[in-house]
Amino acid sequence: MSVIKIEDVSKLFGFGDAATVALDEVSVTIEKGEFLAIMGPSGSGKTTLMNMIGLLDRPTYGQFMLDEKDVSKMRVNKRAKLRRDNIGFIFQSFHMLPKLSVLENVALPLAYKGVSQTKRLKRASAVLEQVGLSDREYFYPHQLSGGQMQRAAIARALVNSPSIIIADEPTGNLDTESTRVVMELLSEIHSMGNTILMVTHNPILTRYASRIIYMRDGSIVYDEASDVGQLPGRVERALQAVRTSREEERIAGVSDYLKAMPQKKSPKRTTTKNKKRHSAKRRTKS
Ligand SMILES: Nc1ncnc2c1ncn2[C@@H]1O[C@H](COP(=O)(O)OP(=O)(O)O)[C@@H](O)[C@H]1O
Ligand SMILES: [Mg+2]
């Protein structure tokens, strides 16, 4: 069963000549239990797509089905409830409330759901144990390292037992070791049957994914399935092409290489509407 089905979705910011086309007739179907890595240069529409799927934003055009229900035109309250019950978010910058303890931060999503305080804290404590932070429950966010903070944020994303986890550059602020810990954790969550969508700039991390999509200028330019534990073919070829021992240079080089790789899809039909929108984008960029 497809958990997510997006058809010809476009997202425009602004109006008329000043409009930016953040998503340009994107279609994608995601099955339950997939682990998607989403790559692409900055400004290519990755966050916009994640916000759309996470029900934080609506498409300007097109249809979006979540669990086979059309959510594109659903009312605000219903969307909020659906989001709360089904989706967990993890961001690059953690988004922890500084005046609440780690335990309270993790329990917060349950408060919006009307769960009693005792039950909230018990559940929060259980997920903190799952991410290996039992001994940090009563710490405040500023007392945690970046890696611990992201693990706490993952616990918060899991507290509602969502079926979809959306992680927008979850390791963007982390060192190599914390990145590994966070990725192992996401991998474990994936192996329990959850669907994970992860935006990343680090091609090496696509190894954890079962599918990689690459975005450019608001479109998905390629989409490749790959076995978990293996690098997708394109990333593998890019890695072989970029030979440098320095980790950061290698990641940047591989990203550039991927960017330059030709797209597989046939050029999409250009409708009048489309042409108009493309010229709107060019104008904003110049
Ligand atoms: N709230 C917004 N208002 C106006 N433009 C936006 C907004 N959010 C994103 N954009 C524009 O949409 C495009 C895609 O942005 P985004 O989805 O954030 O890209 P990415 O996450 O791939 O870096 C960019 O050109 C960006 O400037
Ligand atoms: Mg982004």
Amino acid (1-letter code) at residue 228: V
The answer to whether position 92 is within a domain reads yes
Ligand whose nearest atom lies closest to the CA of 216: 1
In this model, does residue 276 exceed pLDDT 50?
A: no
- DSSP letters spanning 177-239: HHHHHHHHHHHHHHHTT-EEEEE-S-GGGGGG-SEEEEEETTEEEEEEE--TTS--HHHHHHH
pLDDT averaged over the chain?
A: 88
DSSP H or E segment with residue 3: strand 2-13
What percent of the chain has a predicted confidence (pLDDT) above 90? 70
What pLDDT is recorded for position 281?
47
Nearest atom, ligand 1, residue 284 CA: 25
In this model, does residue 3 exceed pLDDT 50?
A: yes
- Domain with residue 181: its CATH number is 3.40.50.300
The answer to whether position 279 is within a domain reads no
Phi, psi of 122 (to 5 degrees): -65, -45
Highest mean pLDDT among 62-76, 125-139, 272-286: 125-139
The answer to whether position 216 is within a domain reads yes
The answer to whether position 259 is within a domain reads yes
Q: What is the CA radius of gyration of the chain?
A: 20
For atom 4 of ligand 1, the residue with the nearest CA is: 13
- DSSP letters spanning 8-51: EEEEEES-GGG-EEEEEEEEEEEETT-EEEEE--TTSSHHHHHH
For atom 17 of ligand 1, the residue with the nearest CA is: 45
Domain total in the chain: 1
pTM of the model: 0.87
Nearest atom, ligand 1, residue 40 CA: 22
The answer to whether position 228 is within a domain reads yes
Which of 52-61, 65-74, 138-147, 189-198 comes out lowest in average pLDDT?
Answer: 65-74
pLDDT digits (tens, 9 = 90+) for 75-129: 999 999 999 999 999 998 889 999 999 999 999 999 888 899 999 999 999 999 9
Which of 1 and 88 is assigned the larger pLDDT?
A: 88
In this model, does residue 285 exceed pLDDT 60?
A: no
Mutate to test the pocket of ligand 1, among 38, 47, 57, 215 (most ligand atoms within 8 A of CB): 47
Confidence band of 136 (pLDDT split at 50, 70, 90): very high
The answer to whether position 281 is within a domain reads no
* CA dihedral sign of residues 153, 36, 3, 271: positive
Cβ-proximal residues to 236 (8 Å cutoff; 6+ apart), any chain: none
What pLDDT is recorded for position 96?
92
In this model, does residue 7 exceed pLDDT 50?
A: yes
What's the whole-number mean pLDDT along residues 215-224? 94
For atom 8 of ligand 1, the residue with the nearest CA is: 48
Pocket of ligand 1 (CB under 6 A): 13, 20, 22, 40, 42-48
The answer to whether position 158 is within a domain reads yes
pLDDT digits (tens, 9 = 90+) for 43-77: 999 999 999 999 999 999 999 999 999 998 889 99
What pLDDT is recorded for position 284?
45
- Which residues constitute the domain of residue 142? 2-273
Written as six digits, the tokens of 143 are: 């007392």
The answer to whether position 186 is within a domain reads yes
